[in-house]
Amino acid sequence: MVENVAPLMRELEPEDFYLLSGIEQGMRFSEWVAREKLPEFSRLTAENVDYRLDRCEDRGLIERKTIQYQGFKLTFEGYDALALHTLIERETIDAFGSPLGVGKESDVYEVRSYKPFALKFHREGYTNFREVMKEREYTADRDHVSWQYTARKAAEREYDALEGLYPDVSVPRPIDQNRHAIVMERIDGTELSRTKLEPGQVVPILDLVCREVAAAYDEGYVHADMSEYNVFVADDGVTVFDWPQAVPTDHENADELLTRDIENLLGYFKRKYPNDVGEVDTDAVADAIVAGEFDSVAQFTAE
């Protein structure tokens, strides 16, 4: 379980962050960063490095391992601390709040600024092997692809998708991104999976979600991880979130992924509300979305 690093932020000193970012730099080249490299990477004296290493290790921000040499690496908490520090320095956020949700691959917290935002730390990336190989020079240690790298990639992908989609599609407004963290508008509402819709609401809500999928396609994106867990329902409509796996519509598998997204949604609605949702032709829905002609699932329901 990842500890919330926020309470530590007050105790950390500027030079602790020099050390942490020195280790971060070293991790581009090897999994464990040798102690001798740290004065150079962090621009601190050797004595100060030793002092800061102990402080950061005591706080769970780094890990130590002795093989042929003494090496160090950041923990998730250390990486979280670096991202938070940057976001605070940029004045994107000023206070950390309570957890909003723990997802499959992330931790999401409320953060405060001039209004409440959500901060999502990516914990792992969907590892696109080809993409990693392309940027292999990232690490000299050939087989070493750090979790920092895949988590940062996932955050960048999600942030880019949100920027491309907002405001034409109902997604959280993107605010800022650093390392594996994104800051976005905090959405009020209940996840679709935890909502009990009244009979008269079922098809209208299903239509709203499908229209967002269609609007995203018009903007050039397929979500590729659509499910009842990635949709918020509120009185004023629906919001689709969790976009790190999104692919552009000119991607070779885009239409296949779109069909799978629609299947997931329709499958969920049919299982949960069998009396309200009839047989829908999934392929026809996907075709209509691709053609820009989707309006309602009613068009594709067998009587």
Ligand X SMILES: Nc1ncnc2c1ncn2[C@@H]1O[C@H](COP(=O)(O)OP(=O)(O)O)[C@@H](O)[C@H]1O
The token duo for 41 is 């990477």
228 in contact with ligand X (CB under 6 A): no
Nearer CB in complex with ligand X: 146/170: 170
107 in contact with Mg ion (CB under 5 A): no
- Distance separating alpha carbons of residues 298 and 278, to the nearest angstrom: 9
Judged by beta carbon distances under 5 to 8 A according to partner kind, the member of ligand X, Mg ion, none in contact with residue 77 is none
239 in contact with Mg ion (CB under 5 A): no
The stretch among 62-70, 86-94, 227-235, 293-301 that binds Mg ion (CB under 5 A) is 227-235
C-alpha distances (whole Å) from 287 to each of 148, 204, 254, 270, 295 are 38, 20, 12, 20, 12
Closest among 296, 252, 257 to 277, alpha carbons compared: 296
> Cβ contacts of residue 181 below 8 Å, gap of 6+?
80, 83, 84, 87, 119, 120, 121, 122, 155
Q: Which residue's CB atom is positioned nearest to ligand X?
A: 103
245 in contact with ligand X (CB under 6 A): no
- Distance separating alpha carbons of residues 75 and 88, to the nearest angstrom: 20
> Cβ contacts of residue 267 below 8 Å, gap of 6+?
none
Write out the binding residues for ligand X, residues 40-99 only, by CB under 6 A. none
**Considering only residues 34, 88, 100, 208, which one is a binding residue for ligand X as defined by CB under 6 A?**
100
Judged by beta carbon distances under 5 to 8 A according to partner kind, the member of Mg ion, ligand X, none in contact with residue 287 is none
18 in contact with ligand X (CB under 6 A): no
Nearer CB in complex with ligand X: 53/216: 216
Angle between helices 14-26 and 76-89 (to 10 degrees): 120
Coil, helix or strand at residue 122 = strand
Which of 225, 236, 287, 295 is the catalytic position?
225
105 in contact with ligand X (CB under 6 A): yes
Any catalytic annotation for residue 188?
A: no
242 in contact with Mg ion (CB under 5 A): yes
Least distance to ligand X, CB of residue 124, Å: 9
Q: Is 222:257 a contact under the CB 8 Å cutoff?
A: yes
- Distance separating alpha carbons of residues 153 and 124, to the nearest angstrom: 9
Footprint of ligand X (CB under 6 A)? 100-101, 103-106, 108, 118, 120, 172, 184-187, 191, 229-230, 241-242
Catalytic residue IDs: 225
Residues of this chain that interact with Mg ion (CB under 5 A) are 103, 230, 242
